[in-house]
Structure 1
């Protein structure tokens, strides 16, 4: 599932490479251009995974001015420059990349540099941190360790933090959830949060990117999440949207989470509605505030109505509910499918 730009981190290279051959390429451009390039990077199946990309706004008071940083474990070669420029070519191949500014980095760990700014964040009932920034969570707060990785969802993007806050609000308002699915899960973080808030729920996480399988399995282990197909356990799948027999058989769902992009959210709105029980909740994020009305219109057509909304920076987070008078051919909310009853 398409995801928003985020800091990326592959397997750490050998120590001599990390210490002696660290280079950075920086590009400046408008937000739409940098975001489009980062999304193109997600779809570049032949990308060199030792080359790390991150994108962010230059300053809080200039949300439309962005930069992209590219970290390399070697001096940039012509092939590296060509690969970066290709990210800006667009569908017609005619797009022009901003100027590439190259810099040799000091002799220090380039992975740490690529993770700069990933200090712990506190959102709702959760703290999210990387292994490099351990925390002592206060009582009543659940801390999750999420290493920076190829998958989106370290909690530092406004959309992920906004979802954590909205999930906490759902729990505070008494929402009962027995069956959760996190579509486009990335690192698994939002599925983990859902299981923490509703520990007896059936939980499923899915992503279109096969690389997320190993990422989520690792994060399950380091965060003491129970893997499996039973109550209080998490099942991870590789699936395109809702188009997966296991994902469909485990429904209908009380709560669907989708922190992806506005386009897929619009396309998937009817599928989300079909997969929800009457009165079920849909948590959507990954849409800019300027895209919110289009997403909400698609959801209205599918029989979904807004319950709460929040804005985090330029991003909207929506909590929608399925109308009670919309019928679905499915089991009762939270009822286990026959194949899962053995767990």
Structure 2
């Protein structure tokens, strides 16, 4: 008998009026038959439009099913465009999503319950805004709500990056990590974590305008206005990114873009600089690692959480 495994769920923002939440007609979009390499791409596509995204695998070695909950009157053109782009990037056509009506009553409460405060590693606490803020001793608090911009601390790739960063920061200390880049920053969670631990300015860039806005707002909410710069940029092609070298680069994106960027990453790391790469499945590690080893980077550490892997690389 097959078993379902829920891997991830991301709650989004819901409109409110005082303490009353609007009843929004919802439906669930279902994509079936996705191979491993297509999951991150279609997940990102659904996250751009859906309130939550979950994915499931019935048995090891089988394909995946993705489910996204969105408003019934959502932007159909944007959905079609997002799925078409995901098909082009992944090389896999997921077809037309199934649609099922979803009970809206109580959904917000269940969503809030699904995004509680969480401790990551030994240094971080991710605290959503519906949880009362309080002083924490020995941990850095990141105030953050899950939403359309990727990065709430729940996903295994985000978790891997923050835990990997803890050890990198401990080994190098503040003084040796003076230039930090978060490439494809989403919500800005990694850049904010680095800015709080290192007490250094951090550059966070993303190709999506809404992600840049969300990251900038999150930085202000976390008291990082003077240590955090959010910029709209197309990776290493942008002069905002490629005009300098970095001691530390986060790149929590997708396996194939990581491979394509390997040369630029190596060229823009200072000698002894570190790169923390994520957004790749365990089955894709060999491919990503080979691309970066060809550019002279060496593997320092690999972290695995569920089906996802994080790589810590260093330039000699």
Which TM-score bucket, shorter chain as reference? 0.7 to 0.9
Match of 1:299 in 2: 292
Match of 1:339 in 2: none
TM-score, normalised via structure 1 length: 0.76
Provide the C-alpha distance between the structure 1 equivalents of 2:92 and 2:305, rounded to a whole number of angstroms.
33
1:258-297 superposed matches below 5 A: 258-297=251-290
Which one of 314, 318, 325 corresponds to residue 307 of structure 2? Answer: 314
Shift of 1:12: 1.9
1:40-189 superposed matches below 5 A: 40-41=45-46, 52-57=51-56, 65-72=64-71, 76=72, 83=79, 87=83, 90-91=87-88, 95-97=94-96, 99-106=98-105, 108=106, 110-124=107-121, 125-134=123-132, 136=134, 138-175=136-173, 176-189=176-189
Provide the C-alpha distance between the structure 2 equivalents of 1:174 and 1:63, rounded to a whole number of angstroms.
42
3-state SS in 2 of match to 1:309? strand
**Residues 79 and 272 (structure 1), Cα distance of their counterparts in 2 relative to 1, 3 Å cut:** closer
**Residues 79 and 277 (structure 1), Cα distance of their counterparts in 2 relative to 1, 3 Å cut:** closer
Whether the 8 Å contact between 2:179 and 2:248 is mirrored in structure 1 is yes
Consecutive unaligned residues in structure 2, runs of 5 or more: 1-7
**Residues 80 and 207 (structure 1), Cα distance of their counterparts in 2 relative to 1, 3 Å cut:** closer
TM-score, normalised via structure 2 length: 0.82
CA RMSD of aligned residues (A): 3.4
Match of 2:218 in 1: 219
Which deviates the most, 268-277 or 58-67? 58-67
Match of 1:39 in 2: 44
Shift of 1:216: 1.2
Shift of 1:13: 6.1
**Residues 213 and 94 (structure 1), Cα distance of their counterparts in 2 relative to 1, 3 Å cut:** closer
Whether the 8 Å contact between 1:180 and 1:253 is mirrored in structure 2 is yes
**Residues 218 and 308 (structure 1), Cα distance of their counterparts in 2 relative to 1, 3 Å cut:** same
Bigger proportion of residues as helix: 2
**Residues 134 and 26 (structure 1), Cα distance of their counterparts in 2 relative to 1, 3 Å cut:** farther
3-state SS in 2 of match to 1:20? coil
Whether the 8 Å contact between 1:179 and 1:255 is mirrored in structure 2 is yes
1:260-298 CA distances to partner (integer Å, 9 max, x unpaired)? 110111011111111111111111011111100111111
Shift of 1:18: 4.6
